[in-house]
Structures are given as C-alpha cells and as structure tokens.
Amino acid sequence: MKPTGTDPRILSLAAEVAKSPEQNVPVILLKLKEIINNTPLGSSELKKIKQDIYCYDLIQYCLLVLTQDCSRVQGGWTTVSQLTQILSHCCVGLEPGEDAEEFYNELLPSAVENFLVLGRRLQTCFINAAKGEEKDALLHFFDVVTDSLFWLLGGHVQLIQNGLRSLLNKQEPGTEFSQELRQFIVLLSPKAYQEVKDQKQHKAACLIQAYWKGFQTRKRLKKLPSAVITLQRSFRSKRTKMLMKLSRQKEEEEHRLQLQIQRQRAMRLSREIRLNMLEIVHPGQVEKHNREIEEKSALIIQKHWKGYRERKNFRQQRPSLTEYKAAVILQRATLKFLAKCRKKKKQFAPWPGLRELTDARRIELKQQVDDYIRRHPGSQISDVTSRELHSQAQERLQHYFMGRALEERSQQHREALMAQINTNIEQLMKAPSLKEAEEKDPELFLSRSRPVAAKAKQAHLTTLKHIQAPWWKKLGEEAGDDIDVPKDELSIELGTLFIGGTKPP
C-alpha cells in the first residue's frame, strides 16, 4: 500500500527507475544520497522519506544491485560503495510498519550478508592488485563498505545478537570461548540466554518458516519484472493522458483566441463600413440613417430570438405531436376496422324469411289496401305530363350528380393537401439535427414537390391495382361505399400538384 503525501522527488525517482533499462538503474539510485543529505538528521521529514523509499521498493533495488557482479555495474566499485552507504542510512531509523517481520528477518540479514560478501571480494581484489594506486582505491572502498556495515549494525543491535547466537551454535559446548561468548550475549540482552534454550525447541518451526519465506521471496522476485512493467505501463499511460489533456486545452485556447480575433476584426470592419457610409450620407440624413440601422438591428435580434424560441418550443412539443399523430392513426385504423366488421355483419346476416300468410291476415291486408285506394283516388295523367315530369326528374338527377362530382373532387383535393401536410410533418418529425445533417438532407426540404410526387405515385399505383382487379373481388362494393384505395381523380390531382403546383379546375 503506497503512502499518501509521497515526496515528489521519490515519485519521480521511482518512475525513472521503472522506465529505465537495467544497466542505468545503479546510477539513478545514487540520487537518493543527495535527497538524504539535503534533509536534516533526526527530523520527521527524514523518517517520512525513508518510509517512502522502502514503500516504493528502492531499498530492494539497492540490494539487487549489490548482488550483481561489480564489473557489470556502471561506475564499478565507486557506485557499489555509495550504494552501501545509501542502503545503511535508509535502513537505520526506518519504521517499516506492517512489513516489520519481513524487514527484520529477511531484508536486514540479506543486507548484512551482501556487505560481508562485498568485503570479501574487496579483500580478494586487493590481494590480486598490482599497482599501488589501485590498492589505495580498493582500501578506500573497503573502508566505506565496513563503515556502512558498522552503521547498520549500530542501528540494529539484534543483528549482532543473531550473529553471535549462530556463532555460539557452531562452537562446541563447554569450551572457554563458548562460555565467554554466552556471557557476552547475556550482556547484550538479558533475554538472550533464555532464547538460546528455546532455540532447540523452535528449530523445526524456524526451518519451516525459513523455507516458506525463501519460497515467498523467490516468488516475489519472479514477479518483480512484471510489476516493473506494470508500473511503467501505468506511468506512460498517465503521462500520455496528461499530454493529451494539455494539447486539448491548448487547442481550445487557440480556437477561443481565433474566435475572439475574428469577432474583433468583424466589429472593426463593420465600424469602418459604417464610418464610410456616414461620410457619404448627407448631414441631414445621418439621424435617419442611424434610426434605420437601429431598426434593422432590432429586427435581426428579434428574428434570431423568435427563431430560437420557436425551435425550443418545437423540440418541447415534438413528443406530444408524436403521441397525437399516433393516437389519430390508431383511431382511424380502429374506425375502419369497426366499419368493416359492421359491414360484414350486415352482409352475412341470416335472412329471417317470410311469415306465413293466413286467411285472416290476407283479408286484413286486402281491407287496408281498399281503404287506402278509397282515401287516395288515383289521378289520371296524360303522356305529355308524364314526359315533362320525367324530364324534370332527369334534370334534377343530373344536377345532383354534377354537384356530387364537384363535391367529390373538392374532397379529393382536400385529401391531397392533407397527404402533403402529413408527409411534411412526418419529414419534420424525422428530420435530423443541424449537427447530424448531411449534404443531401436539406434538399428534401428545399423542394416541396417531392413528398407530393411520392404520395401521388403511391395513390396512382394503388388505383391501377384496384381497377385491374378481377370482378369477383369487387362484388361487395357499391357506388357510394368508401374503399381503401384512392380514386383516379385523386391521383390525377396529386400529379397536377406535382407537375404545376396549381389547383385543378
């Protein structure tokens, strides 16, 4: 778990270590020395920096570098000796917190062992060295490593106790050296003698723990490259997002500045044009010219405001218009369905038949007929009078049918206009927004003849299908019944509207 409020220097150093190649890591870790030296000794800030270094596994990186061959490390013994100083200073005064057991039982013993191995290597190199200057340098490096070891042991006395206990276990019991060594351990810690007794009882448990911790450490070391890769990936992703955000902000700022510059240029140009016009206008007409400009400006503002208000109201009323149109369509379909049901029910109703005519009923009906003839005697009409009445009836019937034809044509014209209005409303309802509109979309609204042409073509095709239908499909229809297909006159009228855009006579 990473601590909150981490020093930014430690964060940048950890990110640099994570994204750098392996051969550059030792040189990068030397920057820790400058951070530690610039912090006052014994301060809370120094403790916090040491905790951050431990939490970001920089101490583990130092240990890994110390286990490598010095000839492969960039800088050689100089870099290794400085890393031992950094490691000892970081471990002394550190409060590991939750990972205290791992720190005291694994990390510190590993650090001491690495220091001893380095000292052994330096001794070997010192013996094999030929030049005096090289020996002096190796001796200096040996002093630095031993000072770091003493500094680490001075800060953690339990390491000396553990070393002495291991040395005591290797000695034969009863010897003078072992007795003096046991007394020295007792002087270092009052509870050391009791721990030596209990060591035999807990030897098996300690051995199991050692194997288990070794397994965990090896497992953790195997996962270390993947953790480094993950850290590098997250850091690069965060850096990429930050750069994209900065570039987007920069583009927005540049766009805002360009708009402001364009606005200023437009205002300056309009003012120049206005000044040029004022120079041309007669002084007596200046006030009138200014008033006209103000009126035009007010009209433009009102036009834009009304357009915005109407568009807003239309967007708000669009759901209600859709619901109203859907309700009208449902009502129309329901009424047509009910009318067809009533028609079929009336058409296929069973014939009740004739009642049987009895003699009494026959005498009664004959008496009613005689009474009606007696009350309404028939008048004798000549042939000339009957022909005149017939001609009058024919004229009235012709006048009725002509009026009915005109009424049907006006009704067809109204239906054509309603079809055009419905088509336009449907196109407006389904019209895309200005942001989503393509180049071909505005053409559908520039010409109002396309919807009418589509409706006329559909009506004409439907009429032709109805005319060409066989006679047995038209048996149940009458002259005055409404059919589901439009008539020829409707298609002719719609075609006339599509071609010329004028009403038919």
**Contact present, 316 and 424 (Cβ < 8 Å):** no
Amino acid identity at 473 = K
- Tens of pLDDT along the chain (505 residues) come to 455 567 788 778 778 777 777 777 777 777 777 887 777 777 778 788 777 777 877 777 777 777 777 777 777 888 778 777 777 777 777 777 777 777 777 777 777 777 777 778 877 787 777 677 777 887 888 888 888 777 777 776 666 666 555 655 555 565 655 555 566 555 555 454 456 556 666 787 888 888 898 888 888 888 888 888 888 889 999 999 999 999 999 999 999 999 999 999 988 888 888 777 777 767 777 778 778 888 988 999 999 999 999 988 888 888 888 888 899 999 999 999 999 988 888 776 665 655 677 888 889 989 998 898 888 876 667 788 888 888 898 888 888 888 888 888 888 888 888 887 787 777 777 777 767 777 776 666 655 556 666 666 777 778 878 787 777 776 655 444 444 444 444 444 444 444 334 333 3
Q: Which residue has the tokens 């049918």?
A: 401
Amino acid identity at 344 = K
Whole-angstrom distance, CA of residue 80 vs CA of residue 376:
143
At residue 175, the pLDDT reads 60
Question: Structure tokens of 181?
Answer: 């060594």
**Contact present, 58 and 17 (Cβ < 8 Å):** yes
Helix axis angle for 157-170 and 176-188, nearest 10°, is: 160
**Contact present, 30 and 63 (Cβ < 8 Å):** no
- DSSP letters of 11-45? HHHHHHHHHS-GGGHHHHHTHHHHHHHTS-TT-HH
> In sequence order, what are the residues at sequence separation of 6 or more whose Cβ sits closer than 8 angstroms to the Cβ of residue 12?
none
Angle ∠(367,373,375) on CA atoms, nearest 5: 100
Q: Which residue has the tokens 């051995």?
A: 207
**Taking the CB of residue 333, how many other CB atoms lie within 10 A of it?**
10
Q: Which residue has the tokens 């503002």?
A: 301
CB-based burial label for 493 (10 Å; 0-12, 13-18, 19+): buried
3-class DSSP assignment, residue 436: coil
**Taking the CB of residue 399, how many other CB atoms lie within 10 A of it?**
10
Question: Structure tokens of 144?
Answer: 């630095």
Q: Give φ, ψ of 483 to 5 degrees.
A: -105, 165
**Contact present, 94 and 155 (Cβ < 8 Å):** no
Question: Structure tokens of 7?
Answer: 């020093």
Q: Which residue has the tokens 């004028």?
A: 502
At residue 381, the pLDDT reads 72
> In sequence order, what are the residues at sequence separation of 6 or more whose Cβ sits closer than 8 angstroms to the Cβ of residue 455?
416, 419, 420, 423, 494
Whole-angstrom distance, CA of residue 108 vs CA of residue 470:
105
CA dihedral 231→236→238→239, nearest 10 degrees, is 140
Angle ∠(226,228,232) on CA atoms, nearest 5: 115
Whole-angstrom distance, CA of residue 379 vs CA of residue 246:
110
Q: How far from the centroid of its chain's Cα atoms is residue 55's Cα?
A: 35
Distances 311 to 158, 305, 307, 320, 431 between C-alpha atoms, Å: 82, 10, 6, 15, 13
Question: Structure tokens of 357?
Answer: 């005519």
Distances 136 to 74, 129, 145, 393 between C-alpha atoms, Å: 21, 10, 14, 145
First to last CA, the chain: 90
Question: Structure tokens of 426?
Answer: 């449907």
Distances 94 to 46, 105, 175, 188, 220 between C-alpha atoms, Å: 9, 14, 39, 22, 22
Whole-angstrom distance, CA of residue 92 vs CA of residue 107:
12
* Segments making up each domain of the chain, as ranges: 8-241, 406-432+439-474+481-505
At residue 498, the pLDDT reads 40
At residue 322, the pLDDT reads 86
